[in-house]
Chains A and B, each alone.
Chain A
Amino acid sequence: MKTALLPDGLIRTLAGQALAFVVALSLGAVIILMIDESPIAVFMTLMRGAFGDAEKIAGTLLQTTPILICGIAACIGLRGGMFNVGIEGQLFLGGFAAAWVGFAFALPPFVHIIVAVACAILAGAAWVAIPAYFRVRYGTNEVVSTILANYIAVLLTSYFTIFLFKRPGGWSETPPILPTAYLPELFSFSRLNIGLLIGLFLAIATAAFFRWASAGYAATMVGSAPKFAEYGGINVRKVGFSVLLASGAVGGLAGGIETLGVHHRFMEGFAPGFGFDGLIAALLANGSPIGTIFTALFFGALRAGSLLLEVDTTASREIITVIQALIILAVSADLMMRRRGDRTGERRWKF
């Protein structure tokens, strides 16, 4: 238990993860060859795009922020035994809610940020509340319900943006938020803002919560052995509901930070795929919030690098999505695991 924030069996996990990376990257190379590009050139371009200079590194961190916060949202769900695949939707609603507070109300600086962020959090939590209620009360599969809710969230926010709050003269975007609601930026040359610090703090706080808080213990037990938790007097439904709500709230927060810190408005398709990237980052980190910091950074770098990729080569930036998916597939196979004889070997979300 002295390993504190790091889970047991870390070495084995890391070795397995590394092997999976190698397999996935080689598969990725094959696919890059298939589309007539040189894998090395693609890789170098990605690296240059991600870490080429200070501005590029800031860009990477800028992409990392929402992935990290979404990843923490996923981690919270996974630890409590819930697959929140609806982070994407919570992100959109949180983003819209923050933008709405940002442009519709005039509040003093700082207070404005707090209120906007709070609304984002509330919106995210509210969006997951119904699937969460049905999950814990009636056993409705949360994977499917949250995925379907994503589609509705995206369409709903688009509707709000285009039909109710369209910027006069603009295309599909809301009016810009007031400067009082801008998140403080960290450097002059980038939009990188304190959202990153919020994400890092949140990762550490989440890890500590699951490690040392009584409530964190209850949530972990509900996730890993629900029948045992029920027997031990933990209110499994209440904990499960809270876990999903917290996960949704963090998803909403991610959206709020994205609008208040980066775009300063809400627009159609403002943050595509961050929710899924976050989920993948969390899965790759095996549900560990600290691990998610690193996997989110990796995915952030891929994303930042892919922008240059599209400029410098003919490859599409979606090639990084392919690489991400391949990594997850390779990791899910758990190549390091010795296959045991028992065919009923239990597997939870740990993959």
Chain B
Amino acid sequence: MTFAVELKGITKRFGAFTANSGIDLAVRQGEIHAIIGENGAGKTTLMNVLFGLLQPDEGTISVNGKPMAIDSPAVAINEGLGMVHQHFKLVPSLTVADNIFLGMEIRRRGLIDRAAQVERTRALSQKFGLKVDAQERVAGLSVGIEQRIEILKVLARNARTIILDEPTAVLTPQESRDLFQTLRSFVDDGMTVIFISHHLEEVMAVSDTITVLRDGRVVATRPKQELTKRELVRLMVGRDVSFDRRPRHIVQGESVLEIEDLWARDDRRLAALKSATFSVRAGEIVGIAGVAGNGQTELAEVLSGLREASHGSAKLHGKELVGCTPAEIRDLGLAHVPGDRLARGVDRNAALSTNILMGRQKKAPFAKNGIINWTVVQDEMRALIKRFDIRARGPRDVARSLSGGNIQKVVLAREFTAGGDMLLIDQPSRGVDIGAQEAIHDEIMRQRAEGRAILLISTQLDELKALADRIIVMFEGRIMGVVDGNTMDEDAIGLMMAGVDPSDVKEDE
């Protein structure tokens, strides 16, 4: 039996940190092989090693039975490997065909032959059933189509083994299903697919063989049939973790946030949030579900004052937020955990105590008459490190030196102690390992119990399922529907996330 790809004893270190340690991986020809693991388990490092973007410190790689050194992506491409990255690497100002043939342009007399490239793109698109318009510019295309272009890019290079890194993170459930069908058809043609994910359900749905990574090591490689979801989680995390719905008391508080007919535009000045109307009560967690990029970011930015609303109103305790500055909104009692944690939530190069001071640099007891008392700030930081179980040596640690989960805890610590009774939490567990995720969820539930009103934006349905009292589903900036957290129907949410009103479907049946 020859393996499409075989890795033996791959070890990759970054300084003192070992990202991959003695990894053995054998991928059979003609199978969909999933590699699953938490954030930071070493999946991406491993694939970068395989694709020649990183060089392993130890170990060997064989492709189609031939051992070889892959020291650049060019070598990998030559050997029939193709990689579809998690973050698409398309050039917005170029056309689809230009993007597909970038790096292998068809040239005639030294000049790029656009017509031939378009021709070849059409042929490829037809052959593999991936519909694209070859002459369209990539800027403004939907993520689903962008992914198709990325796959075509790989196919145009005659790849026989395709690596996909977290391919479904930005897709709707329906788009994901289409993708899986495409992958299946590739495998039926004798190609091989390596599928990297941390998403249990889809791994179970699509793969033939599953390899689980944890802390840079392979913990198991098994055919899918031999595994259950619960087992997979235990393998990934090393212990049992419950994703069950958190138990809760019904708290019927008064309405804290009232949003009515709220509109906003995105950076391209297109309507991104359309006529949002809903409310959040004290002691209630309202979840916002939806595929990334359907107006959730804009909603969060408008509510926190970072983006101007183009129409409508949002009232916090009856006071209008639209038109207020972020500082005024903070003073009205809104705390915000931003989705883009590393850009918005912290200064990565600053000490933790400097980070915790943000927003309160003029307030007692941290400052008096405009002079900061750093001793108080340090003490506060030390207390927060203890209370939020932040893994840091002390207040002088630079934020950058912490893991994603711990940086998130720093942000939560700052925002949850800012005294606001409305919490706007955007993607609390993005890039956070499962252990820290649990702790973060505990903290959110604690805030709920204390009677705070919480608006929780997440692209992960599991998270909303576990936490939210009500789930609002957004699609293309619009609210498609509201679902009760206790009795939620995942299919209905999935349809709404794709822009279909479930009541329409029922009528059709």
Chain A contact residues, CB within 8 Å of chain B: 1, 212-215, 217-218, 221, 224-225, 227-235, 341, 346
Contact = CB atoms under 8 A, between A and B. Distances in A.
B220 interface: no
Given A1-B396, A214-B367, A217-B357, A228 B362 contact: no
Nearest to B395: A1
Nearest to A234: B327
Contact of A221 (B329, B344, B347, B378): B347
Interface stretch (B33-41, B247-255, B264-272, B369-377): B369-377
Contacts of B14: 341
Given A228-B343, A228-B345, A228-B346, 16 more contacts: A1-B396, A214-B367, A214-B370, A214-B371, A217-B361, A221-B358, A224-B349, A225-B347, A230-B306, A231-B304, A231-B306, A231-B338, A231-B345, A232-B326, A233-B329, A235-B325
B347 A214 contact: no
Nearest to B400: A346
A1 B362 CA distance: 19
B361 A218 contact: yes
A207 to B, nearest CB: 14
Of all A-B residue pairs in the complex, the 10 with the closest CB atoms, nearest first, are A233-B327, A225-B347, A232-B358, A214-B361, A231-B344, A233-B326, A214-B362, A232-B359, A217-B361, A214-B370
Contact of B372 (A212, A224, A227): A212
Nearest to A228: B347
Given A1-B396, A214-B371, A224 B358 contact: no
B299 to A, nearest CB: 15
B349 A213 contact: no
A217 B347 CA distance: 12
Contacts of A234: 327
A319 B371 CA distance: 45
Given A224-B350, A225-B350, A341-B14, A230 B372 contact: no
A225 B343 CA distance: 8
Interface in B351-386: 353-354, 357-359, 361-362, 367, 370-372, 374, 378
A230 B326 contact: yes
Interface of B: 14, 54, 304, 306, 325-327, 329-330, 336, 338, 340, 343-350, 353-354, 357-359, 361-362, 367, 370-372, 374, 378, 396
A222 to B, nearest CB: 10
Contacts of B371: 212-214
A258 to B, nearest CB: 32
A233 B359 contact: yes
A212 B374 CA distance: 8
14 contacts: A1-B378, A212-B374, A213-B372, A214-B367, A214-B371, A224-B350, A225-B346, A225-B350, A227-B343, A228-B343, A229-B358, A231-B326, A233-B330, A235-B327
Contacts of B327: 233-235
Contacts of A341: 14, 54
A231 B336 contact: yes
Contact of A1 (B329, B347, B359, B374): B374
Nearest to A232: B358
Contacts of A231: 304, 306, 326, 336, 338, 344-345
Contacts of B378: 1
Contacts of A225: 343, 346-350
B372 A233 contact: no
Nearest to B305: A233
A221 B353 CA distance: 13
A233 B357 contact: no
A18 to B, nearest CB: 23
Given A1-B374, A214-B371, A233 B350 contact: no
Contacts of A229: 358
Contacts of A212: 371-372, 374
Contacts of B306: 230-231
A228 B396 contact: no
A235 B350 CA distance: 20
B357 to A, nearest CB: 7
A212 B371 CA distance: 6
A11 to B, nearest CB: 16
Contacts of B357: 217
Contacts of B354: 217, 221
Contact of A228 (B330, B344, B353, B372): B344
A232 B358 CA distance: 6
Contacts of B367: 214
B145 to A, nearest CB: 26
A173 to B, nearest CB: 44
A233 B325 contact: yes
Contacts of A233: 325-327, 329-330, 359
B306 to A, nearest CB: 6
**Highest count of chain A CB atoms <10 Å: which of B14, B340, B346, B347:** B347
Nearest to A229: B358
Contacts of A224: 347, 349-350
A232 B329 CA distance: 10
Contacts of B343: 225, 227-228
A221 B357 CA distance: 11
Contacts of B359: 232-233
Contacts of B374: 1, 212
A217 B374 CA distance: 11
A17 B506 CA distance: 72
Contacts of A218: 361
A235 B305 CA distance: 11
A224 B358 CA distance: 13
A255 to B, nearest CB: 29
A231 B396 CA distance: 22
Nearest to B330: A233
B375 to A, nearest CB: 8
Contacts of B353: 1
A232 B304 CA distance: 10
B307 to A, nearest CB: 11
A227 B358 CA distance: 12
A272 to B, nearest CB: 36
B350 A215 contact: no
